A and B are shown apart, each in its own frame.
Chain A
Amino acid sequence: MRARVFVTLKPSVFDPQGTTVAEALHTLGYASVKDVRQGKYFELEINASTPDEARRVAAEAADKLLANPVIESYRIEVDAPAHAEMAR
């Protein structure tokens, strides 16, 4: 089962990389892009029997290691096999 963890900087934290990316987009002509925040994306392949178990494991991984709670927050998506079939 695959869990996707999206880690982003908390809104109050200054993001110079995101700002630089936004400026670069503006130079390329994308004036409509108002702001960019840069984050990290992890894909975890987990041996879990239910989506909830996978989500729990991913959340623990995020709490312990993947995200730094002082400056980052995260959200999780789980691709359960049943959902994958529906997507097909």
Chain B
Amino acid sequence: MKFAIVVFPGSNCDHDAHYAAEHVLGQQAELIWHKDTSLKGADVVVLPGGFAHGDYLRTGAIARFSPIMQEVRRFADGGGPVLGICNGFQVLLEAGMLPGAMLRNASLHFHCEHVYVNVEQTDTPFTIACTPGRALRIPVAHGEGNYYAEPDVLARLEKNRQVVFRYVDASGQRTAAANPNGSLNNIAGLCNERRNVVGLMPHPERACELSVGSADGLVLFESAVKAVSEGAFAISR
């Protein structure tokens, strides 16, 4: 199976996602330039972290218009698994592929640190191999991760079990102190109604080897491999 990792001008974490997929997990991975119009037969699409277009105007606001995004949308509409990490999550929000928007961190500072996130839903292609309720220790690194959605949208998200990842403390408690950016309901990541498009602010690709501090993020990539091989989220081409 193959991972496609989209590279926007200003993406930084494309190489990290590629390394995780190919070097750590042993899967095929290809970097796709944002001006391309083909995903080259990928089974999973990743929109990586970084500062696409310098985060100018708003994070992800310009990247959503890149030529490749038409293909990404078509892929998602056909049921293909799409993972948006950090800036990638922001692009999915701006593209309307996930509901809500990102604001600046409540502290007004960029935060880079390890946090704990609870995996609340294991029926997405990126959490299918996760143990329900087990918190993962994964780093965040962002200045605009303060998730916002209008009250009725937020209520619907919770009701539909679309909140996939939530910030918790080391003992699994959902507290204000565990929330690094002020996002509503401690939301760290969510999925669309169809459950094939997932976005999260933490960086799982930075937590794939113990040598760099944590290997808890690898399970998201392992889930994708499992999901594709079991055909649970096959794309209708």
* A interface residues with partner B (beta carbon < 8 Å): 12-14, 16-17, 20, 65-66, 68, 70-71
B101 touches A71 (CB 8 A): yes
B108 touches A17 (CB 8 A): yes
- Asked whether any CB of chain A lies closer than 8 Å to the CB of B114, the reply is no
New A-B pairs, 13, CB < 8 Å, besides A16-B104, A20-B108: A16-B103, A16-B182, A17-B104, A17-B108, A65-B57, A65-B62, A68-B101, A70-B93, A70-B99, A70-B100, A70-B101, A70-B148, A70-B149
> Closest Cβ of chain B: how far from A55's Cβ, in Å?
21
> Closest Cβ of chain A: how far from B69's Cβ, in Å?
14
Q: Is the interface of B mostly helix, strand, loop or mixed?
A: loop
> Closest Cβ of chain B: how far from A35's Cβ, in Å?
17
Q: Is the interface of A mostly helix, strand, loop or mixed?
A: loop
The verdict on A12 contacting B61 (CB below 8 Å), with A17-B104, A71-B103 known, is: no
The distance in angstroms between the C-alpha atoms of A20 and B93, with both chains bound, is 26
A70 touches B150 (CB 8 A): yes
The verdict on A14 contacting B103 (CB below 8 Å), with A20-B108, A65-B61, A68-B61 known, is: yes
The distance in angstroms between the C-alpha atoms of A24 and B100, with both chains bound, is 30
Size range of the interface on B? 20 to 34
Q: Which of chain A's residues have a CB closer than 8 A to the CB of B161?
A: none
Partner of A12, one of B94, B105, B106, B150: B150
Instruction: List the 5 closest pairs (A to B, CB-CB), nearest first.
Output: A70-B101, A71-B101, A16-B106, A68-B101, A16-B108
The 10 sampled A-B contact pairs (Cβ below 8 Å) are A14-B148, A14-B182, A16-B103, A16-B104, A16-B107, A17-B104, A17-B108, A70-B93, A70-B149, A71-B103
The distance in angstroms between the C-alpha atoms of A16 and B100, with both chains bound, is 18
The distance in angstroms between the C-alpha atoms of A12 and B148, with both chains bound, is 10
A13 touches B148 (CB 8 A): yes
The verdict on A68 contacting B94 (CB below 8 Å), with A17-B104, A17-B108 known, is: yes
Q: Which of chain A's residues have a CB closer than 8 A to the CB of B105?
A: 16
Q: Which of chain A's residues have a CB closer than 8 A to the CB of B182?
A: 14, 16
* Closest residue of B by beta carbon distance from A65: B61
